[in-house]
Amino acid sequence: MNCWQLLPAIRELYSRRAEYVHHEPWEFVHVLFSLGYVDGLADEGEIAAAVVVARGDYPKWKSAA
């Protein structure tokens, strides 16, 4: 799974549970798997790249929802 496949999952997680916005990428490995957003444990580097993109545009898409 690459960062572009993880991006929608992270955006949805941020929109449903805003408290995760400040979590570190290594914490998302378990969170995404445990909450059912991914079928297997994703690579931390891919998650980190998706988190950077999601955090960069978070205010824009949050206000649109």
Candidates 42, 33, 31; CA nearest to 2 is: 42
Report mean pLDDT in 10-residue bins for the chain, 65 residues: 82 86 87 87 87 74 51
Whose tokens are 């490995």? That residue is 29
Q: Return the pLDDT at 1.
A: 67
Q: Give the H/E segment covering residue 48.
A: helix 44-64
Do the Cβ atoms of 58 and 26 come closer than 8 Å?
Answer: no
Between CA 10 and CA 4 the distance in angstroms is: 10
How many other C-beta atoms are found inside a 10 Å radius of the C-beta of residue 13? 21
Say what the pTM is. Answer: 0.72
